Amino acid sequence: MMDPVVRGWPLCIQAVAATAILVEESRKLTFGSALVVSSPHQVRTILMQRAHKWLTHAKLLKYEAIILSQENLVLSTDRNLNPAEFLSGEKMEWDNIQHHCIEAIDLQRKIREDLEDSPIEGGVNLFIDGSSRVENGK
C-alpha cells in the first residue's frame, strides 16, 4: 500500500513507487530469480529523468536500488497493457490514445500554463534587504 505522500505525486511517478513495492514483494515469492515487469509506464525513463524533482534523495536511492541496480530484473514498456480493458470485458481500441509519461509529468508539475520561470521584459525589479521579518513575535 502506498503512503499518502506517494499518492500526492503525479500518476506516472506513482507507477514507479508501485513497481518498486511490487518488485520487493515478488522477491519473496521468486527467491531472487529472474523477474520481468511489464508496465504501460516508462519506469526506467521516469526514474532517471524526472523522479528527482518529486522524490527525496532517500526514496530516489531506494527506488534506484530496487529497480535499476538488479541484474535479474527486466523492465519493459507495453503499450497494450491497459487496466481499463479488464473492467469492461471487451477489447477496446486504444491505438489513437498516446500517453507519454515525461510530458504528463511536466504538465502536472506546472501549476498554470501561463507561468514561466524567466523574468518579464520591461517588468519591475523588486529587491528585499532581509529587514522585513518577524522574530520572536515582533
Residue 129 placed within a domain: no
Task: List the domain range (segments joined by +) for residue 67.
Answer: 4-109
Which pLDDT belongs to residue 80? 64
| Segments of the chain assigned E as strands | 35-39, 73-77
pLDDT band at 49 (very low <50, low <70, confident <90, very high): confident
105-132 mean pLDDT: 75
76-99 mean pLDDT: 63
Residue 13 placed within a domain: yes
In this structure, the number of other CB atoms found within 10 A of the CB of residue 20 comes to 19
Which pLDDT belongs to residue 17? 92
Please name the residues in contact with 138: beta carbons below 8 A apart, sequence gap of 6 or more.
none
| Range with the poorest average pLDDT among 6-15, 19-28, 55-64, 94-103 | 94-103
Specify the number of domains making up the chain: 1
Which pLDDT belongs to residue 116? 74
Residue 47 placed within a domain: yes
Stretch (H or E) spanning 35: strand 35-39
- Per-residue pLDDT for 84 more than 70? no
Calpha distance 134→117 (Å, rounded)? 28
Residue 138 placed within a domain: no
AA identity, residue 55: L
Residue 118 placed within a domain: no
Residue 126 placed within a domain: no
